[in-house]
Chains A and B, each alone.
Chain A
Amino acid sequence: MTRTIPVPANNRGLRRSAKKRSRALKPWYTNTSLVAGMIVIGLLIFVAVFAPILTPYDPIQQDLRHALQDPSAAHWFGTDKYGRDILTRLLWGTRVDLRIGFLSVIIPFVFGSILGALAGYFGGWFDTLVMRIVDVFFAFPFLVMVIVLVFILGSGEASIYLAIAAVSWVAYTKIVRGEVIVAKELDYVVGARLSGMSHARVLFRHIGPNVLSQSIIYGMSDIVMNIMGVVTLGYLGLGIAPPTAEWGSMILDGQEFITSHWLQATLPGLLVVVTSLGVSWLGDGLSEQLSPERRK
């Protein structure tokens, strides 16, 4: 049994122990999930950026003479019903799906977190109102709301960002509010407030940085959900309009030939799985990196 020696409660002692902790922090590259996630996502970003020079074909240009070819040396995964190279379209699809998946978390993350922080910090009727609105939005499933909103706003990338933002801010609000309610009772926050700091300064300088980690970790799983959303919209014909290469619409096209050319519907889905896996690993790695246990 080891016994812990109480740390002196003066400033010097605290600062020293904090310094000691950060020095003992394990380097990020020993975090397996983080490294695995970075490799997978790094590869996908590489593919997205260099798609035009990785294959000699055009993702959109039709070539009906070579439609529905089986895999060959020229077309590794064959061609689709318009004679377009499947591999090329897969690579180009990375651009669209990865971009929308990652960018679409920004608005809900910022808006939801700020609203949650304000609700948790000020409490009272404002908190009650915000939480009732959150309850209402939680009643609509992600996919249902995104489909309806994209219908209302019209198809296109901008609508997808707006629709996803309108649905997914609630989770961030709920998470950050809970964290802030806990954090605002902590001694150093109460102390900062008593020493005459403004609400804004206390909230953004003292509480904010400490409560954001949960939000960031959730954000990673949200990226997975958003990619699913985009792909699903594409499959339903409501997302990015053809002929742009996009994994969801590629699966829709491929489903038609499932009996003869099963690779066409299978491959884009596998890429979604790989992407999700990479993002999940990144999320697990981040949550490990941000957790206090990592700083043993």
Chain B
Amino acid sequence: MLQRLSFIPVRLIQAIPVVFGVTLVVFLMAHLLPGDPATAILGDKATPATIAALRTQLGLDQPIWNQYGLFVSHLFQGDLGTSFTYQRPVVEIVLAAIPVTLSLVAYSLTLALIIAIPLAAIAATAPNRGRDIVVRIYTLIGQGMPQFWVGIMLILILAVNLRLFPVGGYGNTALEHLYYLFLPALTLGIALTPTIIRSLRSSTIDVLGSEYVATARSKGSAGVTLFRHHVLRNAAIPTVSVIGVTMGYLVGGSIVIEKVFAIPGLGSLMLNSIFTRDFPTIQAVTLFVGLFVVGVGILTDLTYTLLDPRVNLTGSVRS
């Protein structure tokens, strides 16, 4: 087991160029802004003196590669600049918002799996029959619904009409978080289900037709036991990488959903910063999201390896 996990350092080293690429893109964002980056970063109300100070700090009089070097070295010291709306270091603000968004993302993924696994199983055990067609129509409609609209519809039905959940907010205790985040997490989860169901449905159909499931049946295995021991894990393997890819989509969606439900996470932070033109904060959130997606990629490979004993260190499958 330990030996099979020794690919992790290799995988981490492989991620380094991508991480630098991500920082480069975030760095260049400042230069894409119309006008001078220092003015953009400090906002319209800054005095000429502070702008001049920031210009030297960012090295704007130096070649662009030196500026990038400065940006990266500041980054390594945990310095992403100061938010001029909050007058606090951006890193502090972002770090405070991260747990909120991450719990929303994890919650959504959990709900998405709770919905998707049974639906995929229901569809895969009767391909092209009535219940499969119903599930396929669900996935078709599901992927055509704007996430924020689903959120509003859920608010309309479950919060306004049935009064089961609050219309927004985050709550104070852990239990309250779980209650307040249910609707937003369900919204994001529903958005994720079509992709998961499609992948899981087709891989489950493959696995159900496989010879080893016939073997399991020849041992008298059936029903839930058969599904749990012989089908689910094998069918999950291709779906893991699909989920890995959709995590970025989930984070992107959470930005909008946080606005719909007034949740104080990265999304609300980013959108507020856009309206106040608080550039350092926007930069920091974008950077975090990029790094998060790279991290999820590594985590996906790790899960893949744990689930499939045939995957060797470099990630290729032995037959």
Contacts and interface: CB of A to CB of B under 8 A. Distances in A.
Interface string A138-170: 111111110110011110000000000000000
A142 B271 contact: no
Given A148-B286, A151-B274, A139 B156 contact: no
B22 A136 contact: yes
Contacts of A133: 21
B140 interface: yes
Interface residues of B, number: 43
Nearest to B20: A136
A154 to B, nearest CB: 7
Interface in B214-256: 248-249, 251-253, 255-256
B293 A280 contact: no
Secondary structure class of chain A's binding surface, majority of residues:
helix
Interface stretch (B44-52, B147-155, B299-307): B147-155
B141 interface: yes
B286 A144 contact: yes
A235 B151 CA distance: 12
Contacts of A99: none
B114 interface: no
A100 to B, nearest CB: 14
A152 B32 contact: yes
Interface in A229-272: 231-232, 235-236, 238, 248, 251, 255, 258-259, 262, 265-266, 268-269, 272
B160 interface: yes
Q: Interface size bucket, A side?
A: 35 or more
A135 interface: yes
Interface string A252-296: 000100110010011011001111110010000000000000000
Most buried by B among A136, A231, A255, A274: A136
A27 to B, nearest CB: 23
Contacts of B286: 140, 144-145, 148
B251 A144 contact: yes
Interface string A85-103: 0000000000000000000
Contact of A138 (B34, B282, B293): B293
A251 B141 contact: no
B152 A258 contact: yes
Given A132-B18, A136-B22, A152-B29, A269 B153 contact: yes
B289 A140 contact: yes
Contact of B256 (A235, A255, A258): A235
Interface in A85-129: none
B41 interface: no
A148 B33 CA distance: 11
A139 B247 CA distance: 10
A255 B148 CA distance: 10
18 contacts: A135-B21, A136-B21, A136-B22, A139-B290, A139-B291, A140-B248, A140-B289, A144-B289, A152-B33, A231-B146, A232-B148, A235-B146, A236-B271, A251-B146, A258-B152, A269-B152, A272-B145, A280-B144
Interface of A: 132-133, 135-145, 147-148, 151-154, 224, 228, 231-232, 235-236, 238, 248, 251, 255, 258-259, 262, 265-266, 268-269, 272-277, 280
Given A140-B289, A141-B249, A151-B282, 11 more contacts: A136-B25, A140-B293, A232-B146, A235-B148, A248-B146, A251-B152, A262-B156, A269-B145, A269-B153, A273-B141, A276-B144
